[in-house]
Structures are given as structure tokens and as C-alpha cells.
Amino acid sequence: MSLRTRAILVVVIGVVMGFSLSLGGKLLAGKPAPAAADLALEQARLLAEVMARVDHDYVEPIDESTLLESAIRGMVADLDAYSEYLDADEYRDIRVSTAGSYTGVGVEVGEIDGEVRVITPMSGSPAARSGIRSGDTIIAVDGAAIEPGSLQDTSRRLRGRPGSKVSITVLRDGQAIVHEMRREIVRVASVYAELLEPAFGYARVSQFNETTARELGQAIDELVEQHGGMLEGLVLDLRNNPGGVLDAAVDVADLFLDSGIIVTADGRSEEARFSRSAHRGDVLDGAGLMVLVNNGSASASEIVAGALHDQARALIVGTTTFGKGLVQTVMPLSRGRAIKLTTSRYYTPSGESIHETGITPDVFIDDTPGFPDLSLSATVDRNADTQLLAAIDHLKQRGVMHSRAP
């Protein structure tokens, strides 16, 4: 074992011992403190043994700091499916993604059958200008091949400093095509809206970031202006929306509510226990509201759907949602690192937890292949979207309810 490895292990054992003594002090009244301290020390010794074996016998040399970071990453990841350790680059990425903009090439990617494919290049982005198309398979970035199942790594490699060059190789119709471009600051739109029929609006929210509520409010104002008066109803599409910033979900729900609880949360710490309520003011002035959901609607999407349902403000249409009722808090650490830790369970206004059960729609309509359109565009045939058509039918049946209806 190298001297450096020994030094690292001394520090680790010291930290574990300190934690054990702290734990022992808290549990002394219950008498299990010595056993807890002994177990923690034994586990620290086990860590030392494993690190020593890897350091000495693994087929390739591995830096001790890399080993220790892997141990930390594994410790946090083993808590649940949503907690994770973030190195400096990962923490920077997550801060950027929640802010509604990032530095990159402006391409939305997804994983299909193990391949990283282009869902859509954003309008006016470096990717769009270079000729990258929806459906292209990304096979290399800067000449380095894309491994199967490496969506997150690929997304990270596409980002970088503004003005920096990047080469993207895509496979299209069996031919490899290389695209050279420079990264730029890309604004990520999370809302797409359009007017359907004479007086019904449609708004799709693809994710929840810091600008989503403002985007949605502005989009609805524009629909009202296009119509020349108050809307008779709105379809809010949250299908395949994986969630995002909790406060953004609260603000979106608040757009349509005059009062009442939106969400409550319960956790071990005081900060993890909270309640959020609506403020007076309904952007639709009481007009009909339908919320489209499916199994891809998770977390923040379920907060919005649950609040609007439980407050009898909207009818939920589609299929049962994903069922993620846990809140993650990103906690900064030293040297630009952080951990994303599950700190709370959240509950809908009725007091129900939807974790691992999801929200059951009021009107069950099975998914239509190809919907919703992930590109946030108007290039699809809305008449083929059976869930959307069902929502519009229910809006028509409800009639006009807002106070300024003719």
C-alpha cells in the first residue's frame, strides 16, 4: 500500500470514527451506541482492506483519489435511484439546465435502442445551421466513438465553453456525416403553445426550469391576444415531462389557482418540511382546463397535475403517471462539487403520496404512438392525437365558465 493510500485511509477512518462517536452520543440513552460505533469502525477497516487490494492487485494502476471518489459516488447512489454525487462538471451542468440556458450546440437527444439519436435540433442553433436533422444517430464526438447507453455522457461532451469547436459525427441512411461547429449559449424553451379551434388553447411544457412559469404565462397571454378575448379552455400537456425544479412546478400550478394548498412535503430536517399554497389570480379566469399526462409524466409534472386535480381545477386525461413522489435537494460541497440528495416526500393537497403509484387520470385514454411531439413544434397532425382530441371534447362539454364569458 502506498504512503498516499495509507494517508487517505487514516483520514477516512478518522472521519468514520468521528461520525460514530457523534452517533453514539445521540443514541446513548437507547444503549446501542457502542455496537453502532464498533460496526462503523469495522466497515472503515473493510474499506481500507478493499482499497489496499485494488491499489496493489488491480490489473491497471488507479489513482487513489479516483478510487475514493468512486466510493463516495457509490455510497450516495446506493441510497435510492435519485440521489447522486456530482463532480464539479456535473454540478455545473445541473445548475445550467435548471436556469433555462446552457452552452452547447442546441440539439435535443434521446436514447433509442441503445443509440443516441437526435430528437430535434433547436431552431437557429449551431446544430440546426450545420445541417443536423431529427432522427440522426450520433456515433462520435470529436472523433471519439459513442458507446451504447451513454446518453448523459454524450450530452456532457456536446457542451463546453462558448466559441469552442466541436465535431459531431452522425449516421444518416447508412452514411457517416461529420458536422463541425462552435458552441454557443443556447436558450432552452420549455413551453410551446398554439391556438386550437376558435377559442381553445394548447400549451405543452417539456420540463420545469426557472423560466417555465414565466414562459407559460406569456404564452397564454399571446393566445388570448390571438383569439381577441378570453380563452374558453386550455389543454396543458405534461406528457413525457420528467420534472425539474419544484418551485417552478408550484408557480405553474399557481397560475391556474386562486387559493388552496399546492403541495406539502415531509422530511427529517426542518428545511425538508414545508407547504406551498396558491396566490389569488387565475390566468384563465376560471375557464376550462384539461391536463394531459402519461407514464412519462414524473415528479414536478405530478405536483402540478395533483394540485390541479385535488383542487378541482382541472380534469386529468391520459394514462397513469410515473409515480415519483420524492424531493431532491442539491447541496454544494467543497471545490465546486455537490450531492443531489433525497430529502423529502411530497404529498398532493389531499394528503396522498403518489410515490410508486402515480396519479390516475379522470379520463383514461391510451397513448397514441408519436405523441406528444418532443420537438415542441407545430409540424405534427393534432387530429391524430387521440388524447388531445378527448381533452378538447371534454372542454366543449364543460362550456364557458369564466366571469367574462359572453
Residues 158 and 29 in one domain: no
- Residue 84 forms part of a structural domain: no
Shared domain check, 134 and 106 = yes
Chain-centre distance for alpha carbon 248: 12
Residue 204 and residue 59 share a domain = no
Identify the active-site residue in 20, 83, 130, 299: 299
Looking at the structure, do residues 233 and 337 belong to the same domain, yes or no? Answer: yes
Residue 182 and residue 196 share a domain: no
pLDDT for res 114: 83
299 annotated active-site:
yes
Does residue 372 have a cis peptide bond before it, meaning omega lies within 30 degrees of 0?
yes
Q: Which helix (H) or strand (E) holds 304?
A: helix 300-310
> Known catalytic residue: 324?
yes
Instruction: Please confirm, yes or no, whether 63 is among the known catalytic residues.
Output: no
Per-residue pLDDT at 337: 94
End-to-end CA distance of the chain: 82
Which position among 324, 340, 344, 373 bears the catalytic label?
324
Helix (H, G, I), strand (E, B) or coil at 326: strand
Q: Judge if 65 and 136 occupy the same domain.
A: no
Q: Which of 145, 170, 187 is the last residue of a domain?
A: 187
pLDDT score, position 400: 54
404 within some domain: no
In-domain check, residue 236: yes
Question: 148 φ, ψ to 5°?
Answer: -60, 140
Question: Are 142 and 226 members of one domain?
Answer: no
In a shared domain, residues 181 and 196: no
Which one from 310, 340, 344, 373 is the annotated catalytic residue? 310
Q: Residue 154 falls within a domain, yes or no?
A: yes
Is 362 found in the same domain as 295? Answer: yes
The answer to whether residues 20 and 36 touch, using CB atoms and an 8 Å cutoff, is: yes
Residues 117 and 230 in one domain: no
- For residue 91, being part of any structural domain is answered with no
From first to last of its 406 residues, the chain has per-residue pLDDT tens of 555 556 555 666 565 555 555 545 554 445 555 676 677 778 878 888 888 898 889 999 888 888 888 889 999 989 988 899 999 888 887 887 787 777 889 887 877 788 898 876 876 789 989 999 878 999 999 999 998 878 878 988 998 889 999 999 999 999 999 999 999 988 777 898 999 877 999 999 988 999 999 999 999 999 999 999 999 999 999 998 888 899 999 999 999 999 999 999 999 999 999 999 999 999 999 999 999 999 889 999 999 999 999 999 999 999 999 999 999 999 999 999 999 999 999 999 999 999 999 999 999 999 887 777 655 555 567 788 999 999 999 999 876 555 444 4
Domain membership of residue 93 (yes or no) is no
359 falls within a domain:
yes
Domain count, the chain: 3
Quick check: 199 and 285 in contact, CB under 8 A?
no
Q: What are phi and psi of 345, to 5 degrees?
A: -110, 135
Question: Domain boundary at 133, 158, 187, which?
Answer: 187
- Domain of residue 127 covers 101-187
d(CA 375, CA 108): 8
198 lies in a domain?
A: yes
CATH number (domain holding residue 205): 3.90.226.10
Tell whether 200 and 330 lie within a shared domain.
yes
CATH of the domain at 137: 2.30.42.10
User: Do residues 217 and 242 share a domain?
Assistant: yes
Domain stops at, among 187, 208, 230: 187
